[in-house]
Amino acid sequence: MLSVNGAARVSSIVRRKPMARDIDQIIERLKTEIPSVQVTQLQVTHPGADDDGLWFIRLPGKAEEVQLESPHGSCPFSIESDFSTEGLRGHSIDEVVSTVRRLFAEPSASPNGGPTMRLSNSEVTEGPPSVS
């Protein structure tokens, strides 16, 4: 106990749990929402010298993958995938998780399990089909 100006002061050490990086929270959310998800971090030859801020996200049975990149594992993340040539950015944990989910989703899947066909804008017509 130290005394400062006649008052007793207690010195204590507060041990804090290290804060989880954004990538740790993203991985936890993805594993909760998509239990089969597989996340691996790039393994570099020279840790500390080489940039290891790259994570690969895969789902069993899918050849495509999503890549998240951030030098320190914190938002924002660059998001790239085999699904699209478009480079995306995730500025928050929620935005990264929803983008990964959207990229792995199959929006063109037929609701009845049958084959699907996308219509181009030129094939879309207005109004009900005519009956002959």
94-104 pLDDT tens trace: 999 999 999 99
The answer to whether position 129 is within a domain reads: no
pLDDT class of 60 with cuts at 50, 70, 90: very high
pLDDT class of 78 with cuts at 50, 70, 90: very high
Domain span including residue 74: 19-42+53-106
Mean pLDDT of the chain: 77
For residues 82 and 64, the answer to whether their CB atoms sit within 8 Å is yes
Nearest to 26 by CA among 121, 108, 98: 98
Q: Which amino acid is at 87?
A: G
Q: Is the pLDDT of residue 59 over 50?
A: yes
The answer to whether position 96 is within a domain reads: yes
- Output the pLDDT for position 110: 33
The answer to whether position 61 is within a domain reads: yes
The answer to whether position 7 is within a domain reads: no
The answer to whether position 79 is within a domain reads: yes
The answer to whether position 8 is within a domain reads: no
CA distance 74 to 70: 6
E strand or H helix at 23, and its extent?
helix 22-33
DSSP secondary structure letter of residue 60: T
Report how many domains make up the chain: 1
The answer to whether position 127 is within a domain reads: no
Residue 65, phi then psi, degrees to nearest 5 = -140, 160
The answer to whether position 97 is within a domain reads: yes
Q: Mean per-residue pLDDT for 29-52?
A: 86
Instruction: Determine if the pTM surpasses 0.75.
Output: no
CA distance 114 to 102: 21
Which of the two residues, 13 and 29, has the higher pLDDT score? Answer: 29
